[in-house]
Amino acid sequence: MATFNDFNNPQVAALPAHLKQFIVEQHYEHYTPVDHAVWRYVMRQNYSYLKNIAYYPYIPGLQKAGLTIEKIPDLQEMNDALAKIGWGAVTVDGFIPPAAFMEYQAYRVLVIAADIRQLNHIEYTPAPDIIHESAGHAPIIADKDYHEYLSYFGSIGAKAMFSSQDFELYEAIRALSILKEMPDADEEELKRAEDLVTHRQDNMGEPSEMALLSRLHWWTVEYGLIGTLEEPKIYGAGLLSSIGESVSCMLPQIKKLWYTIDAVNYTYDITKPQPQLFVTPNFQNLIDVLEQFANTMSFRVGGAYGLKKAIESRNTCTAVYSSGLQVSGTFAEFSTDKNNEPIFIKTIGPTALAVNNKQLKGHGKDYHKDGFSSPVGRLKGYDIPLEDFSATELIVLGIEDGKEVVLNFESGITVSGIVKSVISSEGKMQVITFDNCTVKDIDNKVLFEPDWGVYDMAVDEKITSVFCGAADKEEFVEIVYKSNTDTHHVKYDDRTLELHQLYQQVRNRRHTGGDFGFLGNVWLKLQRDHHDDWLCALEILELLDHENVEPKLAAEIRTFLEQKAANEPEYKKLIRDGFYLIAHPVEQKLVV
């Protein structure tokens, strides 16, 4: 990315390079008058309905997030507002990989899809859009307990193990969501994309940590309810941004369950309404459930369990040693003793060593380009681990530069060679480098021999943590999975551009007043060239009704809309809801 706009927001400015790669410009000028009308309709509907059914902070949270009813939010305005509560926002191109999404949350930055849903998907879209991301997520962030949960979830999720199947499903979902937002999508292609998502969902094998965490994220951040089973309130962004499902989710046939760790067993389908929803009594319960799940994850369990997950992942992972050393690479194998404790680990391909998430000088993936291997555990006959040896104890053992030494591990592994250097920090020894080194296991099998070059041995008693990704992502220059499927950007024909102008003329009248009789000309053009439109007609009717002008024209438009609602069922609810808002106008002063 050539330039990076941090919006003068500290949270955005603090983003690391590997996350900045997903950021795209908002290009506010690309939003059409129809786009703004879609935003305005959804926001008015949301306010009208959600003021009674959303969790309390939603309505005042709109203002705190820098959102208004009248126009699509500008990222600078959002960042100015969010900075006051310690958050920021950036725009991205549709779905981004789950691991990256989680890490943005950990940095307290909202990820907002730059695009907005098409008019024909005004009630709901499976694709990420600016309505869902900003009007759904941002207002609830004003609640301190909730945004603490959100950022904590991100920090946990950023360490979750993910699998190749996760990426395959992500790619299929991204492709399907893009197709569903295309106005001229081929029906056969759409069916193939839906079938592919179903196939990959049904053939995930054992779900990864990331897959399970995504379920908890879905049933809380996206589709969560709070309060009681009898009278819950909405806080999930998926519900807050869907003017269809925010109503239907409260129907008795949608089962309401208490939110517990059991929610991790419920899969979800982003293309369909949810058959059940989970209710939390408070936001602290969300943290408690997350903590319960986190205690089962590799980054906390470590050991053989974590290494096994790392190998299954087939991605860059990091093993953290009790000495503080972090080994980042693709883990290929490990050995254990009779107690199932790791005694030897091996990576293949580029590997890096780090301490406190900072790469050790001279130990990047270019140096360890062919992998890394090392014994794990204590030396035979010693009560303390090697990492805790004092300077005097090291001399007695023979670990001095230029000295030849033989190290016998409790596992039976032996390391013999000439000490070249030692790396220590914070009172712990992390690495001993040997020349002319030989490493053998208990069966006398050679694990490393002198002809292979210098040997760097990790110093540690055990593997305390294993997580996905590199320890020092900036130095590792981790190749984060990024989709090659671009979102669809509509190219407008002359007829559509004319419709945009009609919407803009209505918008101008609403904002600046003037000759409301001119709206009759707009109505004539709509009838002549855009008879399928309903939203522009509704906006004209709203103006005429509120200004109490042109009653004959207003009656004609109302009759047209009533007939469209009667003859075309897909518009029935949208038009009737629009009539309701004309009769019960939103008090915008509360949210602008």
**How much is the pLDDT for 592?**
35
Residue type, 193: A
Residue type, 405: V
Integer Cα distance of 263 and 277 in angstroms: 9
Q: Confirm whether residue 171 is marked as ligand binding.
A: no
**How much is the pLDDT for 375?**
97
Q: Confirm whether residue 222 is marked as ligand binding.
A: yes
Among the listed residues 212, 204, 205, the one whose alpha carbon sits nearest the alpha carbon of residue 289: 212
Cα dihedral 433, 438, 443, 445, rounded to 10, equals 110
Using alpha carbons, list the distances in angstroms from residue 275 to 51, 216, 231, 270, 541: 24, 16, 18, 12, 37
First-to-last alpha carbon distance for the chain, in angstroms, is 34
**How much is the pLDDT for 272?**
80
Using alpha carbons, list the distances in angstroms from residue 342 to 6, 81, 335, 411, 460: 44, 50, 6, 9, 11
**How much is the pLDDT for 489?**
60
Digits of tens for pLDDT over the chain (592 positions)? 446 899 999 999 999 988 998 999 999 999 999 999 999 999 998 888 888 899 977 888 888 888 989 999 999 999 999 999 999 999 998 778 888 889 999 999 999 988 898 888 888 776 778 988 888 888 888 889 999 999 999 999 999 998 777 777 777 777 777 677 666 678 888 888 888 888 877 776 788 999 899 999 999 999 999 999 999 999 998 898 887 788 889 999 999 999 999 999 999 887 788 999 999 999 999 999 999 999 999 999 999 999 999 998 888 999 999 999 999 999 999 999 999 999 999 999 999 999 999 999 999 999 999 999 999 999 999 999 999 999 899 999 999 999 999 999 999 999 999 999 999 998 899 999 999 999 999 999 999 999 999 999 999 999 999 999 999 998 986 545 555 555 556 678 899 999 999 999 999 999 888 778 889 999 999 999 999 999 999 999 999 999 999 999 999 999 999 999 999 999 999 999 999 999 998 865 433 3
**How much is the pLDDT for 485?**
56
**How much is the pLDDT for 174?**
73
The per-residue DSSP string of 360-404 comes to PTT-STTTBTT-EEEE-SPBTT-SS-GGG--HHHHHHHT-STT-E
Cross-strand bridge partners of residue 431: 423, 458
96: its two tokens: 């981004």
Integer Cα distance of 531 and 11 in angstroms: 47
**How much is the pLDDT for 6?**
94
Angle at 420 between CA 417 and CA 422, to 5 degrees: 110
Q: Confirm whether residue 147 is marked as ligand binding.
A: no
**How much is the pLDDT for 356?**
96
